[in-house]
């Protein structure tokens, strides 16, 4: 595997979660409503969708900035997943984070508030000092919902300069200093994005 393509989503796949999916924004009016996470991509960035897959009730959609050709060169990305499962939101995120411990030098995880009033939800910030042998770390905002039939997952990932300890960046040069400043601003945008999501059930009610 190309070391630059070893991202948090790849880690989830290695953990055996899922690799099939679809885009929540392509639902036709003639089709029955499906439960989903309700969100609007941050307007500060022009996005393009690079994944839009659906199979057997599982979905996967991914967005990166228009300026980037693929996720390996992108400083930020957003991933949406729906996985048929009866796990709680907390169980889902706990299982998802376990494989990361094997490839990340140092990890820090903490909850952050979510504005949705849906009952079974959880949002966490995950900091990775260095992802595998790649020359970068990550800060990711993970939000999961569960309705007892499926898990609904949204990830916002920002690349950071690699460091020895998660969350403690010591830039080695001017380029890394600029990178760290830009990443910090992107992280604020991404956290707010995840924070403002809601869960919509099959009746179309969002809360």
Residue 160's contacts (CB-CB under 8 Å, 6 or more residues apart) are 136, 137, 138, 139, 169, 179, 180, 183
**Domain boundaries defined on the chain:** 3-23+34-198
Average pLDDT over residues 162-174: 91
Location of structure tokens 């009866």: 86
pLDDT at position 32 is: 57
SS (H, E, C) 155-175: EEEEEEECCCECCECCCCCHH
User: Tell me: the pLDDT tens digits for 10-66?
Assistant: 444 333 333 333 334 334 444 557 899 999 999 999 999 999 999 888 999 999 999
User: Residue 91: enclosing H or E segment and its boundaries?
Assistant: helix 89-97
User: Tell me: the pLDDT tens digits for 82-105?
Assistant: 999 999 999 999 888 788 888 898
Q: Looking at the domain that runs over 3-23+34-198, which CATH code has it been given?
A: 3.40.1000.10
| 201 pLDDT higher than 50 | yes
pLDDT at position 6 is: 44
User: Tell me: the pLDDT tens digits for 105-138?
Assistant: 899 999 999 999 999 999 999 999 998 888 899 9
User: Tell me: the pLDDT tens digits for 133-160?
Assistant: 888 999 999 999 999 999 999 999 999 9
**CA dist list (Å): 95 to 10, 12, 92, 130, 191:** 14, 9, 5, 20, 21
Q: What is the pTM of this model?
A: 0.84
Sign of CA pseudo-dihedral 52, 7, 97, 14: positive
């Amino acid at each position: 595997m190309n070391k630059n393509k070893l991202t948090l989503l790849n880690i989830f796949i290695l953990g055996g979660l899922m690799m099939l999916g679809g885009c929540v924004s392509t639902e036709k009016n003639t089709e029955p409503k499906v439960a989903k996470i309700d969100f609007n991509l941050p307007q500060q960035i022009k996005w393009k969708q690079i994944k839009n897959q659906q199979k057997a009730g599982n979905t996967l959609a991914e967005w990166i900035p228009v300026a980037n050709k693929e996720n390996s060169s992108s400083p930020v990305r957003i991933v949406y997943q729906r996985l048929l499962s009866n796990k709680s939101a907390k169980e889902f995120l706990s299982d998802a984070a376990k494989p990361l411990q094997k490839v990340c030098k140092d990890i820090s995880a903490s909850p952050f508030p979510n504005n949705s009033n849906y009952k079974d939800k959880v949002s966490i910030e995950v900091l990775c000092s260095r992802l595998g042998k790649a020359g970068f770390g990550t800060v990711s905002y993970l939000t999961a919902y569960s309705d007892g039939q499926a898990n609904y997952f949204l990830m916002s990932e920002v690349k950071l300069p690699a460091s020895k300890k998660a969350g403690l960046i010591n830039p080695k040069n001017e380029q890394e200093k600029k990178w760290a400043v830009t990443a910090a601003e992107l992280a604020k945008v991404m956290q707010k994005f995840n924070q403002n999501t809601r869960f919509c059930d099959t009746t179309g009610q969002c809360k």
